[in-house]
Amino acid sequence: MPFSDYKTALVTGASSGIGAATVERLCAEGLQVHALARSAGKLAELSARTGCIVHAIDVSDLASVTRLTKEIDFDVVVNNAGVDRPGSILKADEEGIDLLVDVNLRAVLHICRLTLPGMVARDRGHIVNISSIAAAYNFGGNSTYHATKAAVSMLSRQLRIDAYGKRVRVTEICPGRVATDIFAHVHGDSAEVRERFVDGFELPQAEDIANAIAFAISAPIAVNVGHMEITPTLQVPGGLSTMRPEHPQA
């Protein structure tokens, strides 16, 4: 559907990284973009740069998100906000599990609940869920993150069934490693963290993910781009590990 057929967009986690890049791209396409994030200072800078309308709201603040979605009919929703607390379930704590479930899953469910019915009624709309390769592949140390992203992946498929018969499209974007500041948010902003995750690697940029989102949105109305997995060329997800037991059974 041409961008001209859409008027409004909501982007969560919009203050930096993929969210900010998506706001910039959608504003450039002529949409009235509402940027939602916790950081009022970064949002103000983004608004000055792009002309977007900002909302300094925690995505897990259901009352505030509900008010916003009742005030505005969103044609495009990009559920981008996400957090991580690395660690296996053996070392997980209550706070970390609740945080990831609240931001990565519960907020997405509620935003879809609040916006999809209007899209169905108007026979027009597009929901983009930013998932992760962690939704489909296992790698060590992120049990809760894997679980929440896998749920978002299944939700994305289910939304198309819920909207069946209407011109409402749903796209799941599954990034691998992208050169953003998410690693600083998770592991701390240090030279060691940048060297471990970013420096020296050939990585997609936030703008690359925003361009993929724009591609899906601008596809002809008869086309639903349901799933995109975007990884560095030099990154391969998956693998198989096998070990011998330390104490074989007799």
Averaged pLDDT score across all residues of the chain: 93
pLDDT tens for residues 71-93?
999 999 999 999 998 889 999 99
| CA–CA separation, 249 and 230 (whole Å) | 43
Q: Does residue 239 lie in a domain region?
A: no
> Is residue 200 included in any domain, yes or no?
yes
pLDDT for position 149: 97
Structure tokens at 233: 């060329």
237 in a structural domain = no
What is the model's pLDDT at position 194? 76
Residues linked to residue 87 through DSSP beta bridges, in sequence order? 142
CA distance 234 to 190: 24
DSSP state of 243: -
189 confidence band (pLDDT: 50, 70, 90): low
Beta strands in 93-152 (DSSP E): 125-130
Contacts of 24 (CB under 8 A, 6+ apart): 46, 49, 50, 210
Scan for tokens 């992946």, then name that residue.
153
Question: Which of these is catalytic: 6, 137, 145, 164?
Answer: 145
Note whether residue 190 is domain-resident: yes
Residue 200: domain span: 3-230
Q: How far is residue 204's CA from residue 183's CA, in Å, rounded to a whole number?
A: 14
Within a domain: 241: no
Cβ(235)–Cβ(176) below 8 Å: yes
Beta strands across the sheet bearing 8-12: 53-56, 32-37, 8-12, 76-79, 125-130, 168-175, 227-230
180 burial via Cβ count (<10 Å: 0-12, 13-18, 19+): buried
Read off the CATH number of the domain in which 74 is found.
3.40.50.720
Q: Does 171 map to a domain?
A: yes
Q: For this structure, is 164 an active site residue? A: no
Domain presence at residue 245: no
* pLDDT tens digits, 133-172: 999 998 877 899 999 999 999 999 999 999 999 999 999 9
Phi, psi at 108, each rounded to 5°: -65, -45
**Domain-embedded: residue 238:** no
Domain tally, the chain: 1
20-68 residue pLDDT tens: 999 999 999 999 999 999 999 999 999 999 999 999 999 999 999 999 9
Chain position carrying tokens 């996400």: 82
